[in-house]
């Protein structure tokens, strides 16, 4: 169907697009990488755990992938991941800034070393990823940036102050970027998932009752659920942009 603007509806193909996904070694980043590869995109898999990246690349045999060690806290690592992507494929169409982790402790009990590591990853690492990953898109006046934030950046929870703060920062950074680069042809999407079952909970130190209390019997999300939503955002026609995407389990009420 053709609308008043003359633009034909329907989802755009991702075949032949070049994507860079940080935090691709597990969880949501791994699922997004797999989903993009299935759609025919060429994908740079970037993360600290290189052995996992190579295992993922092996599973994706038949797809065009490139595994690159990348700690987003290290500017040279980020610059290298972008440079190797451009050297391999000559362009960058989709940047998925997914690397990050969580931590739950009441504020007065928080481990300051973990706070610093988390903020360096979730905020500073995000800024580095955007600083070096977006310019190739601006040069071509096209592309799509996806930032993995969290519902925790929208709704604060007891014990989640530091993590919620880092994700509120991520959402604010994403919205500022949208205003900066949208007029230059680059779409920007903040993805804010609710409860997604992955390694995240064990890394964050969740007590056994935290997730059940959030879900109250609802069926949780899993990484492929979030990956489908990311694909949908990336497949929008050039005249449309999904700027913020909140995805919760259907029965999740809080947060």
- Choose the catalytic residue: 103, 124, 163, 254: 163
Q: Do the beta carbons of residue 132 and residue 46 sit within 8 Å?
A: no
Contacts of 250 (CB under 8 A, 6+ apart): 218, 219
Contacts of 179 (CB under 8 A, 6+ apart): none
Both tokens of residue 17? 């697009």
Strand ranges, E, within the chain: 18-22, 42-47, 65-69, 94-97, 143-148, 186-193, 244-247
| 103 counts as catalytic | no
CA 90 and chain centroid, separation: 22
Per-residue CA distances from 63 to 33, 34, 35, 57, 58 (Å) = 11, 9, 11, 8, 9
Strand ranges, E, within 37-138: 42-47, 65-69, 94-97
Q: Do the beta carbons of residue 171 and residue 189 sit within 8 Å?
A: no
Q: Which residues are catalytic?
A: 163
């Amino acid at each position: 169907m053709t609308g008043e603007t003359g633009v034909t509806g329907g989802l755009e193909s991702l075949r032949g697009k070049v994507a860079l996904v940080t935090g691709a070694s597990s969880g949501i980043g791994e699922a997004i990488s797999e989903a993009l590869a299935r759609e025919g995109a060429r994908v740079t898999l970037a993360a600290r755990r290189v052995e996992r990246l190579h295992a993922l690349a092996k599973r994706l045999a038949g797809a065009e992938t490139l595994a690159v060690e990348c700690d987003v806290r290290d500017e040279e690592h980020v610059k290298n991941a972008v440079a190797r992507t451009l050297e391999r494929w000559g362009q960058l169409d989709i940047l998925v800034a997914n690397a990050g982790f969580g931590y739950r402790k009441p504020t007065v009990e928080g481990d300051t070393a973990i706070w610093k590591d988390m903020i360096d990853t979730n905020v500073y690492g995000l800024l580095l990823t955007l600083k070096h990953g977006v310019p190739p898109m601006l040069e071509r006046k096209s592309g799509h940036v996806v930032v993995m934030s969290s519902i925790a950046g929208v709704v604060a929870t007891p014990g989640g102050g530091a993590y919620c703060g880092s994700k509120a920062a991520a959402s604010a950074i994403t919205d500022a970027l949208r205003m900066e680069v949208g007029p230059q042809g680059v779409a920007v999407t903040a993805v804010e998932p609710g409860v997604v079952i992955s390694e995240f909970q064990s890394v964050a130190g969740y007590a056994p009752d935290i997730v059940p209390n959030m879900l109250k019997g609802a069926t949780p999300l899993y990484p492929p659920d979030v990956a489908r939503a990311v694909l949908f955002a990336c497949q929008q026609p050039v005249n449309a942009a999904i700027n913020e995407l909140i995805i919760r389990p259907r029965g999740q009420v809080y947060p």
